[in-house]
Amino acid sequence: MESIKEFREQGHKMIDYLADYFEKIEQYPVKSQVKPGDVINMLPNMPPTNAESMKDIMSDFNDIILPGITHWQHPRFHAYFPANNSYPSVLAEILTSGLGVQAMIWETSPAAAELEELTLNWFKEMMQLPENWHGVIQDTASTATLVALLTAREKYSEFVINQQGYTNQKYRIYCSSQAHSSIDKAVKILGIGNENLVKIPVNQNFEMDVIALENQIIKDISNNYTPLFVVVALGTTGTVAIDSLDAIGKVANKYNCWMHVDAAYAGSAMILPEFRETIKGLEWADSFVFNPHKWLFTNFDASVYYVKDKDALINSFAILPAYLRTHTYGKVNDYRDWGIQLGRRFRALKLWFVLRSFGTDKLKEKLREHINLAKWFESKINSDPNFELLLPRSLNVVVFRAIHSLHPDEFNEKLVTKINKSGKMYLSHTIIDENYAIRMVIGNTRVTKSHVEQSWKQINETAEKVKSE
């Protein structure tokens, strides 16, 4: 497709296609039902030599690709965490790709850099984050955590490791046993060694045991290790457990450890004053990440990262080859120095569209709606003798299982598999005290009470069927 005329025509069609998709989304099976190899085996091994028409491409898209898609925007997608989008975010993404901006430095698109600074200041305001934090958009929370750990390593080694590599440093990293695997990955990537990542036990609510953390740090110091980095989980992946920021912050501060807050999922809820007020001790944090691409109606990917010591971040990452020297260097934010990539997408645009198009009141209303739906679902579980809650609800996530006296794990696994095969809804699971547990997450942009009612009804009916099999 080379003509602007055709681009215009196809572009209009594409918006119609997406509008139809959103309208019809409930007709698709939430979880793709294809088997391994189904998609690739239907496509040619070699790329086409001659140009193909958009009509043919879209025809294959409909027949071959779409069946292999899991519909994350389906209102009854209750699995994992949502990766929800919204109309303004999709429209901004179209603009972003059309402009094709590569936002590596201020000069390669001043508006991209300044909108990034502005939107991240807006989030600071909305979430009542400390004034002295500096924000930058990363692609994902995994990257943000890696960036935080590298910055901590450099700051505490006085930037020696970046120069000489590791010499005799024996660093220790701490997180709870429930913290996200992105921490393990960051430790691997930075060559710190898995044995130096200490997983601290949790209490009955799956929150880090802070006394165990301090005891571990004391033990490590006596064995000549240097405590470097503590990760606070503000919402674990399995159960959305919230570690005590304030208590961990005091320990981290006492032993001169960098404290990183992984709020990848639950961070979005900090726009709610009633939730923000329950989070004490944020000022102890050296860095913080949350993902608007999870629960804030911004399509994947957009991860918001804040750091207290901006100079330490930049000193850890900055490299200045001649071709990147500009007259504005040092006077503006050149975000290439604030993370791993040189080339950067213009992600701030979709955040700006979402924030403006919803407004903060509507965003709060949506999150509260999701939390209320989860409360309703929790009350159903609590009042039904065939089900039990495995933990108190956290925000919009309910962890439960069907009661089965003989084989609860097997029964619940069968229940989830059967439900997911139905294509009507999608659930995922976690393990609680070695038991199979079902997670019900209510966070899709389009989810309403009626969807949650349908899901609850289906869970009940399917449990009956599995019992009779």
Ligand X SMILES: Cc1ncc(COP(=O)(O)O)c(C=O)c1O
Enumerate binding residues for ligand X (CB under 6 A).
81, 140-142, 180, 182, 235-237, 262, 264-265, 291, 303
**Are 222 and 250 within 8 A, CB to CB?**
no
Question: 140 vs 372, which CB is nearer to ligand X?
Answer: 140
Q: How far is the CB of 461 from ligand X (least distance, A)?
A: 30
36, 122, 346 from 304: Cα distances, Å: 34, 12, 13
Question: 141 vs 351, which CB is nearer to ligand X?
Answer: 141
Q: How far is the CB of 141 from ligand X (least distance, A)?
A: 4
In angstroms, the CA 336 to CA 333 distance is: 9
Q: How far is the CB of 140 from ligand X (least distance, A)?
A: 3
Comparing CA positions, the residue from 186, 185, 189, 113 lying closest to residue 148 is: 186
Q: How far is the CB of 233 from ligand X (least distance, A)?
A: 6
Question: 81 vs 133, which CB is nearer to ligand X?
Answer: 81
Q: How far is the CB of 327 from ligand X (least distance, A)?
A: 35
What DSSP state is assigned to residue 231?
E
Neighbours of 35 (CB within 10 A): 9
Burial class (CB in 10 A: 0-12, 13-18, 19+), 149: buried
417 in the Ramachandran plot: left (φ > 0), alpha (ψ -120 to 50) or beta?
Answer: alpha
Question: 414 vs 439, which CB is nearer to ligand X?
Answer: 439
Q: How far is the CB of 351 from ligand X (least distance, A)?
A: 15
- Which tokens go with 132? 């002295």
Q: How far is the CB of 80 from ligand X (least distance, A)?
A: 7
Comparing CA positions, the residue from 292, 443, 270, 273 lying closest to residue 354 is: 292
What pairing do the DSSP bridges indicate for beta strands 303-307 and 287-290? antiparallel
Q: How far is the CB of 51 from ligand X (least distance, A)?
A: 36
Q: How far is the CB of 139 from ligand X (least distance, A)?
A: 8
In angstroms, the CA 304 to CA 293 distance is: 9
Question: 137 vs 463, which CB is nearer to ligand X?
Answer: 137
Question: 7 vs 300, which CB is nearer to ligand X?
Answer: 300
Question: 84 vs 236, which CB is nearer to ligand X?
Answer: 236
Question: 186 vs 349, which CB is nearer to ligand X?
Answer: 186
Rg (CA), the chain: 24
Question: 81 vs 258, which CB is nearer to ligand X?
Answer: 81
In angstroms, the CA 362 to CA 349 distance is: 19
Question: 155 vs 439, which CB is nearer to ligand X?
Answer: 439
Comparing CA positions, the residue from 209, 146, 155, 153 lying closest to residue 177 is: 209
11, 36, 299, 317, 349 from 335: Cα distances, Å: 32, 40, 21, 10, 15
Q: How far is the CB of 138 from ligand X (least distance, A)?
A: 8
CB contact set of 52 (below 8 Å; sequence gap of 6+): none
